[in-house]
Amino acid sequence: MTFLTPLLAGIAAAIAVPTLVILYFLKLRRRDVEISTTLLWRKAIEDLQANAPFQRLRRNILLILQLLALAATLFALAQPQMKALSLAGNKYVILIDRSASMGSLDEDDGRGGKQTRLEAAKKQATVLVDSLAEASVFGTTFGSESSDEAMVIAFDSSAEVRQTFTSDKRALKAAIEAVTPSEGPTSLEEAMRLARAHAPKKIIEDVRTDADGNVIRTDYPIEGITGGPPLSIHLWSDGRIPDADRSRPNVDDTFEFHPVGSPKGYNVGITGLRAERSFDDPEKLSVFVAVENNEPLERTVDVELVVEGASARLKTITLPAAISALPVPASGADDAAKPAAPAGSVTPGTGGVVFQLDRAGGALVQVNLRNPGSSDPPAGDVLAVDNRAWVVAPAARRLAVLAVAATPDLYIDNVLSSLNLSRLTQATPAQFNDMLRQGKAAEYDVVVLSKSLPAQDIAGLSSFGLPPGRFLILGAVPTGNAASGGSVPAAAAATETPAGSGAVTAGAAQGSGLIDSGPVKSQAIIDWTRSHPALRDVSLDGIVAVEGRKMLLAEGSQAQVLATADTGPAIVELSSADTRAIVCAFDPSDSTWTFKDSYVIFMVGALKYLGQDVAFGGLSRSIQPGSVLSDRLPSNATDVEVESPDGTREDVTPAPDGRIVFGPLARTGVYRVSWKGAAGTADQGASGGAARYYAANLLDPVESETIAVSKLDLADREVIAKAKAPAEASKRLWPYFILIALAFMLVEWFIFNRKVHV
C-alpha cells in the first residue's frame, strides 16, 4: 500500500487528534441532579470501579470510537493505494486484436454463457486500466503527481489508435469499450509501428550561450528515436498473428501477451473460394471451395451453394481430423521457408468442393457451411465469420482485343484470329491514340501493342505511361512518367552500368520501373519463370531476337521479370491496381520465337492471364475485410453509392479518373457499388445507372485456425502468456476508509444512545 498524500494526512492528524481529545474532556460537564439518597449510587460506583481498567476503557469508549473514526478519515486523506503492477509514471500500450478470429465464441462470460474473445479481451484490458496508478488529487504539494499513462490500439490487418497516451482512465475505458470486432485478418506489425510512433520522441537539449551571455536552451525532438520511459506493451489476442515474428519491440520495452480464447476453440471454415469460367466455354461456371477443419476429429459438413439467393447445390464433405503439430526443432531450409508454426498449432484437415454450374449471366454466389442435414451452422463451431463466403461471378463473355500495329503483323493477327474472341479490332497507333482520347479504348479487354506505345500527352495515364487496362506490349518498353515522346525510346537519365545485368539508376523508379536503353541486336533468352500463367508449359530455350530494345530495371522497380535474356530482362510483367501489362522487349516477329509452338502458347496464355480477372473470374472483386475497396469506375460515373452488407449506404465521391476508395471494410459480405452513368464491360447496367458487386470474405486459413495459443514469437523474443488474471487492480482505498469512519460513527452513535436509555 502506498500513500499519495502522507504529508497532508500528517498535518491534519497533528491538528485534529489533540483537538478531539481536548474537546472530549471539555465536554464532560455534568448536570447536577438532586436525588433522595446517594447511598445506592455510591455503592454502585464503588462496585464498578472494582474492575477499573476495563471500566475506564468502557467509559472512554466513545472517545476511542471517535479517535478510530478520525484515524480512518485521516487515512483516507492520505489517499492510500493498493499497487500491484509497477511503479507510477509508466507508459502502457494496450493492443487489442479485433481480427476475425477474436470473434470466436469460446470465452465464458461468467454467467454460464459464452462471449467472444474480443469481449473477454476488452474486460481484461479494462482491469489493466483500473490498475494504473493515478496521480494524487491534491497535486504535487503533498504527494506524488506522476500517473501511469496508456494508449489503446485496436488492430486487425490495419491498426488504429483509439486513444493516444493519457492517464484519463475514463477515456481509456471508453476507447476500449468502443473497439468493435472486425472480420479481417491479423497483422501485428503495423500496430507495433503505431505504438512506437506515439511514444515520446527522444529529445536533445541544446544549451548555448549567445553573444549577451544569455543561456539559450532548445529542445530538439528526434524523429524515429523514442525517448522517455520504456513502454509496457500489453497485447490481448488469441495468438493467431502470422506476422508476429516481424514485430520487434524496443529492447527496453516489456511485452506482455494476454491470451484469450480456448485451446479447444474448434472451427470449420471456408479458407478458399473461387469462381472460374472455362475459357473455351464461358457459360460453364466452376466454383471452387476449400474448407478446413482444426478439430482433431473427422468432421462432416454440408456445403451449400446459394446462387442469387436461392439454394442451388448441396454437397456433403468429410474433412479429415487435424493433426497436432508437434514442436519439431527447425531444421534446414524447408522450415525456414514457411513461417514458424506457433506452439500448439495444428495442421488442419483440409477438403474441397467444386460446383459446376451452367450459368451464362453474372451471379452472386454464396457458399454456406452447414451441419449435415440441417440448416444450422456446424455444431461446436466457434467462429461464424468463415462459415459463409461470397463470390461475384461476372457474366460469361469472351474477350474483346484491340491489336495496335503500324503495319499489320501477320504473326499476331493469326494468333488472335484463331482465338474464340468476341471482338478483334485492328488499329494503327494514331487510331489507337484517338480512341484513347475519346475513351473508346476501354471497350476492349486487352490491347496488344506491337512496337508502339500510347502518346504520353493523353490525360489519365498511369505511372507506367499506360492508360488503365490490360496490355500485351511487344517490342517496346513503357518507361512511364520519366520517359517522353511516344514510342520513341527515352533518353534515359540513367547511367548505364557496364554489365548487362539490371542497371541501377535513380529517378526512373517513379515511372514503370523499366528503363529503355535503346535498340539492341541479338538477344538470347537464357532463363524464364516456368510458374507464371503466361509461360506455363512453355520452353523459351534457344530463342534469339534479331532486333529489340534493351530493357533494364530501375532500382526499386516493382516489375516482375518473367524471362531474362543475355542483355537483361526480356519479358516483364507490370501491374498496378488498374493497369496490367506484359512487356516483351522484342517483337516475336523479329525473333526465332514465331517458328516455335511456344509462341502460340505464350500468346494465348498471356491474353488469358491478362483478361482473366476482367472476364473469367472474380478475383479482383474479392476483398479481405480490413483492406480498402479500391476500384475504377467509368470516368463519367456520378452519385456513387456503396451499400454495405448490413444495408447501410454511403456516398463516395469518385476522383476525376473514376477511382473510388471505400473502407477499410469491416464486415464480410457483398458490397454493392452503384452509380449513375455508363456501365463498364462487366457491370450490371440499369436504367441510367450501373452497379458493381464486391465480395468481402475472410478466406484466411490463419484466422480460421481458431485454437488459441499461449506463446508468441516476436522478432527478438518469445513471449509466454501471462496468467489469466492480468493484474490486481490498483485501487483507491480512501473511499473504504471513509466508509470505516462512517461505521465507527454509527457504532458510537448506537453506544451513546444505548448508554443513555438502558
Partner 1 sequence: MLRTPPTSQPRSMEELLPSELIARLDPLDLSSRKVFFGKLKGERRSKKRGQSVEFADHRPYVSGDDIRHIDWNIFGRLDRLFLKLFLEEEDLSLHVVIDASASSDCGEPGKFLFMQKAAMAMGYVGLTNLNRVAATAMGGLVGAPEAEEEEWRPVNVLHAIRDLRGRRRVHDLARWMVSLHAGGGFSFREAAERIALTRRGRGVMLVFSDFFFKEGYETGLKLLKGHGYDVFCIQVLSPQEVDPAGPNGLLGDLRLKDVEDGDLAEVTISAPLLKRYKANLSAYCEGLRAFCAQRDMQLITVRSDTPVETLILDYLRKRGVVK
Q: Are 245 and 226 in contact (CB under 8 A)?
A: no
Closer residue to partner 1 (CB): 32 or 651: 32
User: Which helix (H) or strand (E) is 63 found in, with range?
Assistant: helix 61-77
Among residues 1, 15, 48, 379, the one that binds partner 1 under rule CB under 8 A: 48
Q: Judged by CB under 8 A, which stretch of 42-50, 242-250, 385-393, 609-617 contacts partner 1?
A: 42-50
Q: Does residue 53 interact with partner 1 by CB under 8 A?
A: no
Q: Does residue 25 interact with partner 1 by CB under 8 A?
A: no
Residue 510 DSSP code: G
Among residues 56, 315, 521, 755, the one that binds partner 1 under rule CB under 8 A: 755
Judge residue 34's burial from the number of C-beta atoms within 10 Å of its C-beta, 0-12 exposed, 13-18 middle, 19 or more buried: exposed
Whole-number Å distance between alpha carbons of 596 and 522 = 18
Q: Judged by CB under 8 A, which stretch of 33-41, 343-351, 477-485, 613-621 contacts partner 1?
A: 33-41
Residues making up the chain, counted from first to last: 758
Whole-number Å distance between alpha carbons of 602 and 474 = 12
Q: What angle do CA 561, 567, 570 make, to 5 degrees?
A: 30
Judge residue 458's burial from the number of C-beta atoms within 10 Å of its C-beta, 0-12 exposed, 13-18 middle, 19 or more buried: middle
Q: Does residue 47 interact with partner 1 by CB under 8 A?
A: yes
Q: Does residue 28 interact with partner 1 by CB under 8 A?
A: yes
- Cβ 122 to partner 1, closest distance in Å? 56
Total of chain residues touching partner 1, rule CB under 8 A:
28
Among residues 26, 30, 331, 499, the one that binds partner 1 under rule CB under 8 A: 30
Whole-number Å distance between alpha carbons of 116 and 106 = 6
Q: Are 311 and 305 in contact (CB under 8 A)?
A: yes
Q: Judged by CB under 8 A, which stretch of 31-39, 386-394, 493-501, 527-535 contacts partner 1?
A: 31-39
Among residues 43, 264, 536, 649, the one that binds partner 1 under rule CB under 8 A: 43
Q: Judged by CB under 8 A, which stretch of 45-53, 281-289, 562-570, 622-630 contacts partner 1?
A: 45-53
E-assigned strand segments in 227-345: 231-237, 254-259, 268-277, 284-293, 299-307, 310-319, 323-324
Closer residue to partner 1 (CB): 33 or 337: 33
Closer residue to partner 1 (CB): 15 or 48: 48
Closer residue to partner 1 (CB): 26 or 216: 26
Among residues 1, 7, 14, 45, the one that binds partner 1 under rule CB under 8 A: 45
Closer residue to partner 1 (CB): 40 or 493: 40
Closer residue to partner 1 (CB): 43 or 264: 43
Among residues 15, 40, 82, 379, the one that binds partner 1 under rule CB under 8 A: 40
- Cβ 757 to partner 1, closest distance in Å? 6
Give me the sheet containing 310-319, strands edge to edge.
310-319, 299-307, 363-370, 388-393
Q: Does residue 222 interact with partner 1 by CB under 8 A?
A: no
Q: What count of other Cβ atoms lies within 10 Å of the Cβ of residue 298?
A: 12
Q: Find how far residue 361's CA is from the centre of its chain.
A: 35
The identity of residue 370, as a single letter, is R
- Cβ 12 to partner 1, closest distance in Å? 29
- Cβ 20 to partner 1, closest distance in Å? 18
Q: Judged by CB under 8 A, which stretch of 5-13, 36-44, 297-305, 518-526 contacts partner 1?
A: 36-44
Q: Judged by CB under 8 A, which stretch of 22-30, 311-319, 354-362, 606-614 contacts partner 1?
A: 22-30
Task: Give residues 310-349 in contact with partner 1 (rule: CB under 8 A).
Answer: none
Whole-number Å distance between alpha carbons of 689 and 679 = 7
Q: Does residue 52 interact with partner 1 by CB under 8 A?
A: no
Q: What angle do CA 370, 375, 376 make, to 5 degrees?
A: 65
Strand partners, 80: 3
Residue given cell 509514471 in the structure block: 89
- Cβ 19 to partner 1, closest distance in Å? 20
Phi, psi of 510 (to 5 degrees): -65, -30
Task: Give residues 54-83 in contact with partner 1 (rule: CB under 8 A).
Answer: 55, 58-59
Among residues 1, 22, 23, 41, the one that binds partner 1 under rule CB under 8 A: 41
Phi, psi of 628 (to 5 degrees): -100, 135
Q: What count of other Cβ atoms lies within 10 Å of the Cβ of residue 89?
A: 16
Q: Does residue 26 interact with partner 1 by CB under 8 A?
A: no
Q: Does residue 42 interact with partner 1 by CB under 8 A?
A: yes
Distances (CA, A) of 593 to 125, 586, 596, 639: 65, 10, 5, 50
Q: Are 534 and 557 in contact (CB under 8 A)?
A: no
Whole-number Å distance between alpha carbons of 744 and 75 = 14
- Cβ 23 to partner 1, closest distance in Å? 15
Q: Judged by CB under 8 A, which stretch of 39-47, 215-223, 344-352, 691-699 contacts partner 1?
A: 39-47
Q: Does residue 756 interact with partner 1 by CB under 8 A?
A: yes
Binding mask 381-420 for partner 1 (x = CB under 8 A): ----------------------------------------
Binding mask 661-680 for partner 1 (x = CB under 8 A): --------------------
Q: Does residue 31 interact with partner 1 by CB under 8 A?
A: yes
- Cβ 68 to partner 1, closest distance in Å? 20
- Cβ 168 to partner 1, closest distance in Å? 52
- Cβ 27 to partner 1, closest distance in Å? 9
Q: What angle do CA 427, 428, 432 make, to 5 degrees?
A: 70
- List the alpha helices (DSSP H) in 144-293: 169-177, 188-198
Among residues 38, 140, 318, 414, the one that binds partner 1 under rule CB under 8 A: 38
- What lies within 8 Å, CB to CB, of 240 at 6+ separation is 99, 101, 186, 342, 702, 703, 705, 706, 708, 709
Q: Judged by CB under 8 A, which stretch of 26-34, 108-116, 290-298, 739-747 contacts partner 1?
A: 26-34
Among residues 39, 333, 337, 725, the one that binds partner 1 under rule CB under 8 A: 39
The identity of residue 351, as a single letter, is G
Phi, psi of 110 (to 5 degrees): 80, -5
Report cis status (omega within 30 of 0) of the bond before 348: no
Q: Does residue 214 interact with partner 1 by CB under 8 A?
A: no
Q: Judged by CB under 8 A, which stretch of 35-43, 208-216, 640-648, 650-658 contacts partner 1?
A: 35-43
Task: Give residues 735-754 in contact with partner 1 (rule: CB under 8 A).
Answer: 754
Q: Is 213 left (phi over 0), alpha (psi -120 to 50) or beta?
A: left
Among residues 33, 211, 310, 328, the one that binds partner 1 under rule CB under 8 A: 33
- Cβ 749 to partner 1, closest distance in Å? 15
Q: Which residues bind partner 1 (CB under 8 A)?
A: 28-45, 47-48, 55, 58-59, 754-758
